[in-house]
Structure 1
Amino acid sequence: MHETETPTVRGLTIKQPWAWAIATGEKNIENRTWKVPEKYIGATLLVHAGLRPARDAFLDERILSLPAMPPLLAAGKVLAVARLAGCHREKDGCCAPWGDADAFHWQLEDIRPLPEPLEYTGALSLWAPSPALLQKVQVR
């Protein structure tokens, strides 16, 4: 890969239970306050569960309407692989029920949960996974 090429795999740390909802394939929109850089549209995204949960989300009707959540959600682990298909600003209630108002909607497609979550330290923003993690996930 040349230095000017954009990496095709990035990780995104997401608080639980939202990461779980994505890994199950139920949630296909990730809400962010910032627009994903255009160069990452089409990239493979590793869905990483952060260490700290979004406590208020456990009472969110969208989460409560999903099939039973496991008693213990993974934290600090990569749960799934997805394709970052697009990103747009919320408009007129688009992307219901997962798209929040006043947010950028990151569209996720081809979501595939990993057979076993992989422990890994995430980071803010889009982060570059190590070659060892990519090998474990079998993504190039």
Structure 2
Amino acid sequence: MKCLSIQQPWAWAILAKGKNVENRTRPPIKSCYRGPLLIHASLSRPRRNDALLKKTYGIQSPNTLPAGCVVGVVDVVDSMSLGDLFYERPAFLYWAEGPWCLLLQNPRALAEPIPWKGRLGSFDVPLTIEELEFAT
């Protein structure tokens, strides 16, 4: 399966807070890819303001969230620039910052994170959707 490493707290926000856009500086994955995508919580932590994250998004401290593991699956439904998103998919604008946006739906958290080494960009993980156990 395709997999994408995402820093916490954003990996958690995708699975638990309805973050339906993953923002990238260049076109993510292959712009034509649609389908299931594993979400990997990276080990690296962004510089952030925890109080602002909590107030703005209700996001807990990233230090308490799993890292260095696959934490869930989403479905990629589209990939486009922020400018195109504004006109074509305005329902996705809340989380959009661009310049490139990966549009996500149907987030499913795993019952238990799977330790895995992440990489920059998208990468393949030898797992199938049938092998995964999802949280209830």
TM-score (norm 2): 0.78
**Cα displacement (A) at 1:51:** 0.2
Letter in 2 for 1:38: S
Aligned to 1:116: 112
**Cα displacement (A) at 1:67:** 4.0
Q: Distance in 1 between matches of 2:79 and 2:51?
A: 26
Letter in 2 for 1:96: L
1:38 and 2:3 aligned: no
Residues 25 and 111, structure 1, Cα contact 8 Å, conserved in 2: no
Matched residue of 1:20: which SS? Answer: helix
Paired residues in the alignment total: 127
**Cα displacement (A) at 1:96:** 2.8
* Structure ranking higher in helix proportion: 2
**Cα displacement (A) at 1:43:** 2.0
Work out which of the residue numbers 9, 13, 17 in structure 1 matches 2:5.
13
Work out which of the residue numbers 60, 70, 86 in structure 2 matches 1:69.
60
Work out which of the residue numbers 109, 132, 135 in structure 2 matches 1:137.
132
Work out which of the residue numbers 37, 50, 56 in structure 1 matches 2:48.
56
Distance 1:77 1:117, change over 3 A: same
Unmatched segments (≥5 aa) in structure 1: 1-8
Higher mean Cα deviation, 31-40 or 91-100?
91-100
Letter in 1 for 2:111: P
Give percent identity, aligned residues only: 28
Aligned to 1:103: 99
Residues 86 and 107, structure 1, Cα contact 8 Å, conserved in 2: yes
Letter in 2 for 1:122: G
Which string of whole-angstrom CA distances, capped at 9 and with x for unpartnered residues, describes residues 65-109 of structure 1? 344626611110111100111011112595332100x41110001
Unmatched segments (≥5 aa) in structure 2: none
Letter in 2 for 1:90: L
Residues 17 and 58, structure 1, Cα contact 8 Å, conserved in 2: no
RMSD: 2.7
